[in-house]
Structure 1
Amino acid sequence: MRRSALLVLFLATGLHGLPARADGDVQTPRVQAALAQAQAAEVGRGIGKNLMLAMALYCDAGTMGSGEGFFHVGRVLASAPRALRNPGLANSYLALATRLGNTQALQYYDPRVDNVLLGDPCGAFAAGLHTQSFDIEAYLSRQPRARQKIAASIRSAARQYKVDERLALAIALVESNLDPAVVPEGGAQGVMQLATAARQNSGGPRIVDGEQDIRAALAYLGQLHERFAGDWRSMATAYDAGAGSVGRCGAVPPHPCLETRQYVRRVLYFAGASPGEQPGVARQAPAAARSPHRGGVADKRADLPCCG
């Protein structure tokens, strides 16, 4: 009975644009980073305990294909204190987790409760990113020594390439959570995944050294800083989806791709931006943002199609 009800439920809660498979959990470096940061927010490790923030991060992992991410959203909603508990909404996320192959969801699913239809799968939790500011120093202080050394290298490179170190660290947190052992994704390497692949795609030498990866990433961010007059939102969008998509897709704001919107939201939160703020933005729109990228590190995703 329980499994039959759950089958009907996750078919009913299918969302356009979300993965629809049960062939194993997706565990890319970005997913692993979001899950680790969500757990830290749930238990209050290096981040003030914040269940809404935890669910926002778990949910972002889910939309990237992680059944574990959706499972944890459902688990928290099913067992949270009364003010946050929502069995119907929990069932919906547990159904999505099962759709992605997570069998743990069956333990929390309640067939006696009607499900809640979902629109934006993570929009309800986005407020969790604004209820308290992110204390990056406190978070880094609870990380292993190796990750703290990586953070110091990023700060140094950020100063060299005249990029705000808060933005640089935030991108590294979103890309890999500063984990030097992350598994490469799509040919990328290192804690700031995109820029390394960009260098390789440009015909340059294969980068295997962590310091080289960081310098390449900050060199690329330096180019984006110049191109977009220091606008963090544009820079984060370009780092994820390619500089060409910022103007072509009307990406500032919002980008039409859900994952990119969530990526930018996480970057701005970890960088310390407040809701509605455009940190670092110049007083006038940069003309370079409307022109093709010229020279320097190749843009890994400049030719990605717009999505809606």
Structure 2
Amino acid sequence: MSAVDAVAAPGAVGAQSAIARIAELQALVARATGAEQVAPAAPAQHGGASFASALTAAGVGQQVASAALGAPGAGYGSNVTAAGTANLGEPSPFDGLIAAAAQRYGLDPAVLKGLIRAESNFDPSATSGAGAAGLVQLMPGTAASLGVTDRLDPAQSIDGGARYLRQQLDAFGGDLTLALAAYNAGPGAVRRFGGVPPYAETQAYVQKVVAYADQYRSAPAAPAHGALPPTTGSGSIT
């Protein structure tokens, strides 16, 4: 398994100001759409996703909505188009699964895609000498705890990896750096060292996932059709 290095969301706001901002944004949406209120979509896990989607559809900046709602990954800026689809840059065969899992668990899809690239370089059959397997390199015990019965199945693997990353974010106060370090080295090691462990592999992994995520965010949206170009670089299998 692997880890990430991130900075706190620059637009973070307090609970009271977030509530006030949400009210302002709701009024803005109502005026923009001519509706008296925004009908909420089905509630998403970890909260806030459905309202953020409504704001995006109404043309309100995704970064503002994410910051106001305290959404994970808000500090990375928007990689969601007006149609609500993730801009994951260079395409992979798993972009649909990645975007869906990221939305389900409140993750930045670029980070999740960067994690998969670092872990397996998008090879669903990848295995490691330590016993990790699949796109997100789950160990057998971790997979079982996440309800993953087939680690080589792309849908199960991506869902399990996204859920595990979400667990680490929750455990470390939303700090993506620590969450990704925990993904790579284990949450026990992060707690023991009080931060990213002094392991060269973990530190390099964190930097690699962040760099990949930045690359995906800055890349132009991938075409809907056509051949899939190969990814660059190779993921770390730990």
TM-score (norm 2): 0.48
Q: Which of the pair has more CA radius of gyration?
A: 1
Higher RCO, 1 vs 2 (CA within 8 Å, ≥6 residues apart) = 2
TM-score (norm 1): 0.38
